[in-house]
Structure formats: C-alpha cells, structure tokens
Structure 1
C-alpha cells in the first residue's frame, strides 16, 4: 500500500529559530526504559517489519486564541536497515513565521553484549535547517523550512527515543484540525493520543479504519491503541489515511463555516486592480465565452512557474494576485488567486476549490482542510455546467484535472461551501491507440512502423517528457521504446516524429520505424511469433495482479482504454498454422476483446482493453485479476508458422 512516508510523530509541523538540544547528560536509562528495551521484540517476532513502535504519546492542545501546542514522546525499536534509515535521519517541515520547537530528547540506545547500554545523544552539529526542497528560488515561501536531525549511533538493534514540544507564537495560517495516525504499517505495542480543546469549543472527529472510539473526559478526547500487528504493504494500494487506523479531527463546526473562513482569506487577495485588468485584456483579446476562460487558465499555467508545495504546509494566507503576477511564480494557492482575479476582470464569478490527493477519499463528516493538498478554480456556467481548471502545468487541456476521477472536492462559493465530485473520466477519454505494420523475415527478425495516439493523462505524460526535451534526450527515450520491441532499435537515429505536442486541444501522437534482428523463436520447421506488449511503458497503466487475493483495495489512477492493432506480414517461405483465437471477456471491472484474421501472407491482430473502475475492493479483486491474466496470456497474442517444404521433383523431370 502507498503510505505517508513519515509517521505522525515525524510529520509534525515544527519550527523555531533556535533548536533546543537535549543536554549531554541525557545518557541515563531509567528502569522502565531498561526493562522495555530488554523485553522488546526482535526480528523473529515481526519478520516483515522494519521497526516496532514500542510506546508513544502525543498531546495536542488548542487554546482559546486559535494557537496550539503539541507534545510528543516516542520509542522505536529498529529491526532492519530500512528501519534504521527511517529513524536515524528525521526531516521536519515547518513554518518559522508562527511555530517554535523545543526538542527535549533525541537519542539512540543500543544494548551491549554485557547487558549494558551505549547511549548516543543528538548534538547541535547534527541538526541543520534547510530550505524546503524546490523552494530555493522562491523567496515568498522563505518561511517554509526543513529541519534535518541526524540521530547518532543507530544500529539494527537500537532503540530511538524522541520527545519534544511545539508551540505557536503567532496566529496559525490554517484552521485547527488534521489527520493523526495511531499506527502505520509497522507494529505498535502502545500509543496514546490526546486532543484537548477549550471549554467553549467542541471537537468534531472521526475514528477511521479500525481506530477505537475515544474516551471523553470533559474537553479531552483520548485514543489508545495497543498490540497493533502491522500490515504488509500490497502493491497499488490506497493512501495510508484510507486503510490505517487514524483520527480525523477539527474544531470547525461545518463545511459552511470553513468556507466562510477561506473566503475571508482568499477573496480580498483576488481583487481586480489596474495591472490585473490590463493583463486580462491582453490575454483574451477578442475571445469570448468559454474560449476566453480557457485562454486565461492556459496563460496562468504557461507563464506562472509552479512551486510544488502542499497547501497544508504553506497555509491559507495567500499572496495577492498582483504580487503573484509580479513574481512570476506561485504554488497552487497563489496561482488560483491570480486566475480568480483574471476571471473576475472578465466578469466571471470563480469559486475556489480544494482538491484532495488523487484517489483519496474525503470524510464528509469532519470539516478539516488536512484532507486536501492543492487548490484550483472552478466556474459554474449554469446553462452549460461547471468548468474545472488545472493551472499547475500546461501539459494537458486547462479544463481537465489530470489524474482525478470522481474524488470529492471542496468548492468554496460566496456564503457557502460544498463537497462536489470532480468530473468522472470515461475510459475513451483516457488511453492510447497503437498501430503496427510489421514485416517478419525467415530468420525471425522484424522491421516495421509503429504509430501511437495518446489521450488524456497518457497525452499529458508524453508532453511532459518530450515537449521541452532536447533532441538527444528525446531520441534516447524513443530508443527505449524501440528496445522494448524484442530488444530492437530505431531504423535510423531520427526515425521518429511527434505531432501536436504544443496544441493542447489536439491529442499528441508518435510515429517511429524500428528493426529487431532476433524477435521470433524458431525451432526446426516451426516459428513462434508473439505480438509485443505495450512498449511505451511511461504512458501505459501498470496493474499489479501478481497476488492471488488481496486484503486491501487495488487503486488505479484513472479509467482507460488501450487498443493495439497489428498487421503482420509473414515471410513467403512460411505458412501460418494458427493465430490467437477471438476472446470476449467482460466483467464488472472492464472488458477485453481479442480478434485475429489470417490473410494471404498476413495476420491482422487487435486487442482492446478497457478498465472502468479505479477503486477495486478485495472482494472484486478476482475480477480484475482474471481480466488482466487473460490480457497477458501468451495464447492470446501468438502466431504459429511452419516452413513451407520444397515439393519433391517428379522422376520424369530429372535429367
């Protein structure tokens, strides 16, 4: 399963101009810790785990002014090299404009053969503040930092102990709320989560994915979990928040109240000044209606450099549209403010939209913004429906949300907020068609042409890789495609051509010529030819069905349709004995169709694969497993040929 890469302890948003270092005298091991270490489970107890969370506690307190404090204390037992990597180099994202941290304990404890302990305490030289990745040349986000803490002396049998306190010293840039994990994939022996709110506030919460209900003591909510066995990640699984025991919480009563808070922060920043008005006129020219809306969105995508920051890290106090226009760069929040201002300048009423991570499920009962990761803009045209915009890049049409399919988005309109599904993607809108003309020679070599048309997310990927690539880089990537055709290569170094990489209204395509000297298998008089699988791996959809059954849902990015059409020209001294028989396979997940036709020196072969669902529960896994195994079966992509024997001479014809 795909999990958050940092546990709840390590995902704390923390700051402070000065990092308090635990004293060097912090080398004593008390009796309780000593007994915990001596009785800690080993690798033999959890053979599939990389570490064990021996004990942990986290206390979150909201004050009456909207500030908060977070205290935590955790002990981990390392079991493997991967576990050592996870807890020996800790990375904390923080906003130094309103948070500070006091690290009260950070050390490793390693048992020795004589029954003692070696204790290594973090020193100041092992703590470094860095600019968060991707922000080195984005000055308006200078407050976003990443603190890297290197814990010394960690081995595959060490205990790592971390404790600290985080406290806000100014108004936070986001409403109080979040998602707290009680456990992740590794085992947890005991964990204790406390959330405390002021007497006049009520906590809205949801215990999800097997998390226990809290004990409520006045305004304190207490969750406890023990002896969590952990879980083995399965390929292509959901986000951790959709399968791991966790708590969604918020101090905001409803989505409507949350919408009012966001409008108060974002709407004034999207005001139309003279610069915005002039820029909108310059962009749209004589365009009107949907055309001018798309032109504005495309301009933002093309001209404002995207800074990839999770909106929960940067907060909900955006920069003004004028400042974003002047800077020439922005995260999804700031780009949305600029697009909203440009749309307002053309007399449209844009809505701000919060999008969750792709394939994430939004818990509607808990109005917390932690469920979302980016912002965009939507415009309700009423008569023709709602338009959704993508401004993070210009590799796909501006009204398409790449990779999104029916997830719930938080749409913030004036005076209201609503959770609405983003537009679903029909399989025919997303996928590719590959067409081949292949000539097979008597030695098993092939030469031929391939053309491919890419739709939707497939086309976006092709544009992202090739549109701005240097000719040599593009040639190398296309050569990879040719090499996937039985170890083949391009017929010439420039034997390929792309079309429509620039025009976002037309799907891109690729054509190439290739050769492979050793493709078919020959034994005695028989030749076996297998039609190739998708050689354009970066544009296809990988579906892992290696497991016979699953405990977790299988999650695919989007629905899709792929079609492969082959014309095989057979060598004149061979005849076709057999070609794959027609296949019609349909179930609740999708459908597969295979057809073949033997002609005079030719074989025409076609495959259509359609996947309609993206979230496949374990109970439905056999359906997609059987569908994909039929698609991959060698018998469904094979041609058998036999060498034509020379006819014996008649006796009278012999001189």
Structure 2
C-alpha cells in the first residue's frame, strides 16, 4: 500500500540511509520491462498515478517484535500525482522503531535510474520545542526528477519493538484512490501462532497457507483493484478501502481490556497532580464549573498536537504538568487524572469513525481506534459530560462533532462494551445568520451580517478565537484581515470590508459571534433593464455537494452532527422599486432532514427566512433519497435571486451610490 495514504497508521523509524553506492547518481541501467511497458494516461485518463507494484510483508518474531516490509512502484500520470507521491513521509518514534531504506529512486520514462541523493533526505524533530516528545521525528524522502510519466520506487523494512503483552496487528490496503495493478501481502508467524484476519472488500480474500523453516506463512495475491470512487460526505476513507487486517486480538472486549490495563496503570492522580488540581479548583461553585476550570487550564496552557503514530499507553500525568505540548492520548490521560482528583467518575471511550455495527464486523486492532474520548460523570447528580482531548478546553454536553452516532468501545469498570455515541438534538448545534442589506440605484450594496454559532458548531471557532486572543496583536490583525477578506471575496472580487467584529476570548460553551459590514459594488446585476440581487443565505457546504453527485451511491452519508441553520435577510431597495419576482417559498420535511423558506415584500423592502434542519448524522443508503430531496430543495432556493426594476421616477432622480463609499479597484 502507498504509505502516503497510511503513514499515520504505522510509525516508522530511520537508522541509516544507504543508497546503492556501486551506481552513479544517474545510472544507465535499464529497469524491468514490465515497468517500462506499464499502462499510462491513455488507459487511465482520470487517474493521477498508477500503483504498479504493492508488495507488503509482516513478520512476528518470537519476542513479540515485528518486521514490516514494503516495496512499491508508482507511475506518475499528472502533476497532482507528482505532488502526492513525489515525497515519502514517515513519522516515527526513535528508540522503539528502526527502518532500513533499501531502495528509493526515480525511474525516468526512458528507463534511466535516478537515485535519491542524501541531500533529498530530511530527518527532523516533529515537535522541536518539546523535550518530552523529542524522540518523535519526521522523515521526508524527496524523489528527484519526479514528473508525469516517470516512476518512483522504494523498498523499506521497519523493525518495531514488542507491544505490551506482545500484542500485534498489521493492515495493508489493497485499494487506493489511484488504481492498483498488483498487490500482495504475506504474513509470517512463529509456528502454531493463532492468526485472526479479515479482508473486507477483497475478492481473493482467503490466503494460501504454507510452512517455511518452522514458521506459518500466509500469502494473499489480491491482483488489481480499481481506484476508490470518492463520494460526498462518505465515511472515513480508510474505513471503506479494501484491505487485509491481521491481529492477535480475537474480540473487541479483549482489546478493550488490554487498553484499560495500561490506562489504569498510569492514569491516576498522584501527589503532584493532586496539588495542581487543588490549586485550579474554584471554591463555592457547582460540579460543571469545577470540571470546566480544570479543562480550561489544559486548553489554555497546553498545545495538543497530532503525532501521527499509534499510541496505546498514555504517559504518567505528573510528567506532563510542565509540558507545553501534548499528544491527544496524553491530554486525555492528564484531563482524566485531574478530574478524578476532583471526584468525577471518568471512563475512557475508544471512539471510531464508523457506526458500532460496522466496527463490530471488523477485526479488532488498535489502529482502528480514531480517538480516545472521556465520559465524565458527576457522581452526586449523575450528570454526564464529554471531553475531546484534541480540544480539551471545553466540557461538552455531547460527544464532539464527527463522533456523534458513531461507535465507541466504552471502557467501563465491569467490562468494555460497544455503543453508539449519543447524538445531540439539532437545536444544540445551530447557526443563526442575520443579514441587513441596503442597495442603491447602481446595484451597489451595503451588506451587514452577523453569524452566531452554538454548541459543537462553535467549538473550533471558540478555540481559534482564544488562540488569536493570546497571539501578538500584529499577527491577530493579519489573520482577521485574511479571514474577513475571504468572506468579502465570496460576494465579489470588488467587495471590501467596511467594519468587522470577531469575539475574542469567548467563554467555553458560550455561543460564538462574528459580524461584518461589506461594501459590494455591482452586487445587484442589471440585464434587460432588470436587476437581479442574490440573497446571501448560507447553507451547509457538505449537504450542497450531494446535489452535484452523479450516479448511484455505494456508501452511507455521514455529516458531523445534527444541526439547525437559520437565515434571516432584510433588504432595503431603492425608493420606488418594482419587485418583478421573488425566490420561491419551499417546505419539505422527512425523518432525516427538513427545509423551510419563505419570502415577502412590502414597498421597497424584502424579508427572507429559511430554516434547514439535519436530524441525524448517519444516513443509510435507504434513507439517502430523503436527504437528497431536501438538499435539492435547498439548492433551488440558493440559486433563485430577487429580481426588480427601478421605476422611471427613480431612474430620473439620479444615480448616486451609497454615501461615503468610493469605488474599489479590481
């Protein structure tokens, strides 16, 4: 499998770089004929690249350590393919892993070999400012002369130390967003070792078994696979790609117990953690305020980063108190330790990016876990909250966006249980857009809008606002200039920002607000003595993408969470305007989604209101037509504008624009 897609699934390490020293940098040796005669753009006009060879091997040693072998040959077909495969990137943890690079080269279309020079290899700390994560490093290999019709080839062997309790697992993806022409996978285990495997989507799913030198060998030759057909709002790509999984775990309960043993061994409030928590806890407040105070400290003082490696054992929390940077799992462990000191019941939940029914059919393996969430309970009132360690500054009433309705392995005290995470009502995650628009006789408009985000819809905005608040004033102003400038550009390249407001340092859980006034020349466009004015309603982009989809659908649709988007627009037209046509009203509702819009005008004023509601985050194939019906209604409303024409009296009275506004240079 091409590691550009799955680098976060397998941590790799580099011990030495050994390009072939017997050959000059540009060798005239010819490559195998099958590479030179491989199909190309004529046979695959839509593809960015072709995976010609994908040979993957996995070996389990008697001491529990593992060896992972890769050999890939990729033909580049377009500049997009060059950008995607022209670099080989790995993130690894030095000391626990070692990778031997046996080959890395570019093969020109004429067969000339160009070895990767040493200066094209970069091995740098992933988090240079962190002492605790100093062994996490990023390795980049840049293939020289990568270009359309050229090939890149690499051979790697990765050695990894034994996991706790000598657990092991591995995955190879035999499907790719690019076509794969040949893919094989061999697994070598000490004789008599029990193998658990699954091959979802693989036609040739059963392996050939043999014995070699006292080892059990399993071999899959899956042949060719067409490119993955991407769909709007589809489940996570790595969840649906055809693949082969192998593992030592026989059940999800077994995996949960294995994870829980390591969690309990390290996540506990020792003296240092207890002292820290005691100093953070406010006096005379309720349980929610106490929990929020502890989390606010993590959210303010710590930067949570994605280390792109498998983590299954958190660090002892007391070692992290002075760290400025934390991994997601370590942030979860630190938060749990502080909350447990304060008397809360904290249960880790191994969250997945698929529903529980899908996960239950998959082979248990730690790499299937997307994130470790925390379920927090106030033992006196039984009130339950959730903590997302990647955004630890807020105590959530429901699981974070992207995980509502998805499966999770809840590591309760009795035994791990598979559940679907709770789903918030649409009103919790709502967005309210208010627009006031005043148009002059030339079609120029002054548009004032305010946007308020509630619940999960506002988490990322609140986090970004707090980061901006802590940043230097110059950087903050530059960032806000770019943000509002992009907003203005969605109206017109000539639009400019007149005023702006962005709520800095918002309180956790509070609605997030931003507002702006834009001056937009030519916002109403004239044709055949009539003006057409767009109504700047805002609808969910991912929902709108569904309308563009062609053909049948293979996968269910997945959106982040249920939501309610409301838009209110008030337009003041030039005096004496004659309204020719209004956008049509609409009303459609089913058990998946609903949309309502209405418009009215009186004199020179127009009022528009719309409400879009998504009722569930996961929509099955059977339910999908209902979602598509609502999306089409929204799309129709979005395309229809307000048409009006000026009265003769208004036309004769002058053409001056909105006061105080000069034209804007393009």
Same fold per TM (> 0.5)? yes
Q: Distance in 2 between matches of 1:540 and 1:214?
A: 38
Aligned to 1:640: 643
Q: Distance in 2 between matches of 1:388 and 1:10?
A: 25
Aligned to 1:506: 510
1:118 aligns to 2:124 (yes or no): no
Aligned to 2:122: 128
Deviation at 1:59, TM superposition (A): 1.5
Q: Contact conserved, 2:9 with 2:310, CA < 8 A, in 1?
A: no
Residues 140-159 of structure 1 mapped to structure 2, 5 A cutoff: 140-159=132-151
Equivalent of 2:299 in 298, 301, 318: 301
Q: Contact conserved, 2:256 with 2:416, CA < 8 A, in 1?
A: yes
Equivalent of 2:99 in 86, 97, 101: 101
Which range moves more in the overlay, 203-212 or 151-160? 151-160
1:515 aligns to 2:515 (yes or no): no
Which whole-Å deviations, capped at 9, do the CAs of 1:16-64 have from their partners, x for residues lacking one? 432343343496968xx63313432122111122222223321111123
Which whole-Å deviations, capped at 9, do the CAs of 1:423-464 have from their partners, x for residues lacking one? 213322223111223233333233353222212343223324
Residue 573 of structure 1 aligns to a residue whose secondary structure is coil
Aligned to 2:364: 367
Over aligned residue pairs, what C-alpha RMSD do you find?
3.4
Structure 2: 5+ residue stretches without partners: 211-215, 469-475, 651-666
Could you say if the C-alpha distance between residues 78 and 284 of structure 1 is closer, same or farther in structure 2, counting changes exceeding 3 Å? same
Equivalent of 2:38 in 12, 15, 40: 40
Q: Contact conserved, 1:586 with 1:592, CA < 8 A, in 2?
A: yes
Which whole-Å deviations, capped at 9, do the CAs of 1:227-254 have from their partners, x for residues lacking one? 3232444444433223321123321222
Residues 480-495 of structure 1 mapped to structure 2, 5 A cutoff: 480-486=486-492, 492=498, 495=499
Q: Contact conserved, 2:136 with 2:307, CA < 8 A, in 1?
A: no
Residue 132 of structure 2 aligns to a residue whose secondary structure is helix
Q: Distance in 2 between matches of 1:640 and 1:122?
A: 62
Which range moves more in the overlay, 135-144 or 464-473? 464-473
Q: Distance in 1 between matches of 2:458 and 2:67?
A: 46
Which range moves more in the overlay, 621-630 or 583-592? 621-630
Aligned to 1:405: 404
Q: Distance in 2 between matches of 1:548 and 1:171?
A: 45
Q: Contact conserved, 1:8 with 1:180, CA < 8 A, in 2?
A: no
Structure 1: 5+ residue stretches without partners: 648-655
Q: Distance in 1 between matches of 2:385 and 2:21?
A: 57
1:575 aligns to 2:578 (yes or no): yes
Q: Distance in 1 between matches of 2:2 and 2:561?
A: 21
- Normalised by the size of structure 2, how large is the TM-score? 0.85
1:197 aligns to 2:189 (yes or no): yes
Equivalent of 1:336 in 332, 336, 342: 332
Aligned to 1:443: 442
Which whole-Å deviations, capped at 9, do the CAs of 1:239-273 have from their partners, x for residues lacking one? 32233211233212223332332233222322322
Q: Distance in 1 between matches of 2:497 and 2:150?
A: 57
Aligned to 2:70: 72
Aligned to 1:473: 479
Deviation at 1:357, TM superposition (A): 4.9
Q: Distance in 1 between matches of 2:270 and 2:554?
A: 51
Equivalent of 1:222 in 219, 222, 236: 219
1:531 aligns to 2:527 (yes or no): no
Aligned residues: 631
Q: Distance in 1 between matches of 2:252 and 2:33?
A: 48
Which whole-Å deviations, capped at 9, do the CAs of 1:59-104 have from their partners, x for residues lacking one? 1111232211122333333333333344442112222212222222
Deviation at 1:479, TM superposition (A): 4.4
Residues 155-174 of structure 1 mapped to structure 2, 5 A cutoff: 155-168=147-160
Residues 549-588 of structure 1 mapped to structure 2, 5 A cutoff: 549-553=551-555, 554-587=557-590
Q: Distance in 1 between matches of 2:516 and 2:161?
A: 61
Could you say if the C-alpha distance between residues 40 and 351 of structure 1 is closer, same or farther in structure 2, counting changes exceeding 3 Å? same
Equivalent of 2:178 in 159, 164, 186: 186
Deviation at 1:609, TM superposition (A): 1.5
Residue 627 of structure 1 aligns to a residue whose secondary structure is helix
Q: Distance in 1 between matches of 2:242 and 2:290?
A: 47
Could you say if the C-alpha distance between residues 185 and 639 of structure 1 is closer, same or farther in structure 2, counting changes exceeding 3 Å? closer
Aligned to 1:548: 550
Q: Distance in 1 between matches of 2:2 and 2:591?
A: 31
- Normalised by the size of structure 1, how large is the TM-score? 0.86
Deviation at 1:5, TM superposition (A): 7.1
